A and B are shown apart, each in its own frame.
Chain A
Amino acid sequence: DVKVTQSSRYLVKRTGEKVFLECVQDMDHENMFWYRQDPGLGLRLIYFSYDVKMKEKGDIPEGYSVSREKKERFSLILESASTNQTSMYLCASRSPEAASTDTQYFGPGTRLTVL
């Protein structure tokens, strides 16, 4: 079974702090994604990476950056956390073979609260 893990289930940070959210997948997938999920807004893509060292902006990249130094790990960085970044953050991975059906495997999510 594909396993996608995220470093924390719950996180509380203060405004202005630098926040790192880590995602690790164990299936050697090239593609990885970061979403945020807010009530009434569904899942919105922040950034994605098709392979190591590659990154592309999604629909809402402002205030975020990412790092993909190793295939299994995709990090989301909030350079200076703000209260409007309080949300559920979901990481997903996908193999290129599954791209034709867009089968993404999601992690359990990190609920981030910025005070």
Chain B
Amino acid sequence: GQSLEQPSEVTAVEGAIVQINCTYQTSGFYGLSWYQQHDGGAPTFLSYNALDGLEETGRFSSFLSRSDSYGYLLLQELQMKDSASYFCAVRSYSGGYQKVTFGTGTKLQVIP
């Protein structure tokens, strides 16, 4: 089966940098996505990595190491509005169909 592990909570200071890690175990791995969800809101897509390396989108970057089954989301210049839950999700092929499995989420609290 598939499993993903990410920390349940992270606290960081406004203006700082925070890294949210995600390790996974899966067969037929295809890529790793990250989603952001504010309390009471819908998840929104942030980034996707299919190849090893770093993808940068503004203040957010995402990294993937396929050999280590590991990825992370890096948030720079933290703002109070970045307080939210962040989910990693593994895309894989299983039984002829593409499958997406979400992690349990990391609740990020940004403090002044």
Contact = CB atoms under 8 A, between A and B. Distances in A.
Given A43-B87, A101-B50, 20 more contacts: A33-B100, A40-B8, A41-B104, A42-B103, A43-B43, A43-B102, A44-B102, A45-B100, A90-B43, A102-B31, A102-B33, A102-B48, A102-B91, A103-B45, A103-B48, A104-B45, A104-B100, A105-B45, A106-B42, A107-B42
Residue from B42, B48, B50 whose CB has the most chain A CB atoms within 10 Å = B42
Interface residues of B, number: 23
Interface of B: 8, 31, 33, 35, 41-45, 48, 50, 87, 89, 91, 97-105
Contacts of A61: none
A106 B35 CA distance: 10
Given A101-B48, A102-B31, A42 B102 contact: yes
B38 to A, nearest CB: 11
Nearest to B48: A101
A12 interface: no
A101 B42 CA distance: 18
A29 to B, nearest CB: 13
A3 B100 CA distance: 21
Residue from B33, B43, B97 whose CB has the most chain A CB atoms within 10 Å = B43
A35 B89 CA distance: 13
Given A108-B41, A109-B42, A102 B103 contact: no
A105 B45 CA distance: 7
Contact of A40 (B89, B91, B104): B104
Contact of A42 (B48, B91, B99, B105): B105
Interface of A: 4, 33, 35, 40-45, 56, 59, 90, 92, 99-109
5 contacts: A40-B8, A43-B102, A102-B33, A104-B45, A107-B42
A104 to B, nearest CB: 6
A102 B43 contact: no
A3 to B, nearest CB: 11
A42 B41 CA distance: 14
